[in-house]
């Protein structure tokens, strides 16, 4: 096999994302998590996740990988905050050695909020987590004041 760049994305042997992959956020611990907007089609050459959490107000369509649906309406907060915390803890744990994805419709508000919560779990101070995600994932991540407040209160 050639250098890492010569390996087709879906054939990576290590089972993790690579930092340069679109939407991938590196947490301080080195864990990599991909954020994505489900309204944008998945690049057929991109690797698929081994596990995903979909943040939607309705049941997501089926996919070929393991996933969990977290009921989270657009521009709002999760319907069940205890379930949301459990789902995000699982994402954080699995991201140590799996390709884990967090996604909502557009990939910014709910996804950014979830990624900021993951940053808090990873040791980023809650008051700095939104800025961390905006710098490392999408400058428009976390769209509403109540989403930012949710991150600040997440622990």
pLDDT along the chain (155 residues), means of 10: 38 73 96 96 90 96 95 95 97 97 97 98 98 98 97 93
φ and ψ at residue 139, rounded to 5 degrees: -65, -15
pLDDT given at position 66:
97
Question: What is the second-level CATH architecture of the domain 22-153?
Answer: Alpha-Beta Complex (3.90)
Q: Domain boundaries in the chain?
A: 22-153
pLDDT given at position 14:
59
pLDDT given at position 5:
39
DSSP output for 57-96: SSPPPP-SSEEEEEE--TTS--S-HHHHHHHHHHHHHHTT
Q: pTM for the complete prediction?
A: 0.90
């Amino acid at each position: 096999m050639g250098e890492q760049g010569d390996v087709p994305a879906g054939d990576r042997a290590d089972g993790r994302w690579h930092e340069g992959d679109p939407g991938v956020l590196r947490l301080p611990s080195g864990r990599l998590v991909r954020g994505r907007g489900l309204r944008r089609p998945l690049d057929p050459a991109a690797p698929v996740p081994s596990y995903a959490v979909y943040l939607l107000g309705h049941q997501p369509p089926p996919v070929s990988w393991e996933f969990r649906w977290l009921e989270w309406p657009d521009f709002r907060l999760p319907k069940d905050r205890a379930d949301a915390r459990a789902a995000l803890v699982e994402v954080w744990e699995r991201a140590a050695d799996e390709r884990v994805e967090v996604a909502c419709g557009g990939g910014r508000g709910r996804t950014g909020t979830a990624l900021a919560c993951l940053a808090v779990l990873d040791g980023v101070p809650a008051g700095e987590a939104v800025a961390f995600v905006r710098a490392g994932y999408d400058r428009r991540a976390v769209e509403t004041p109540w989403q930012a407040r949710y991150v600040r209160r997440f622990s």
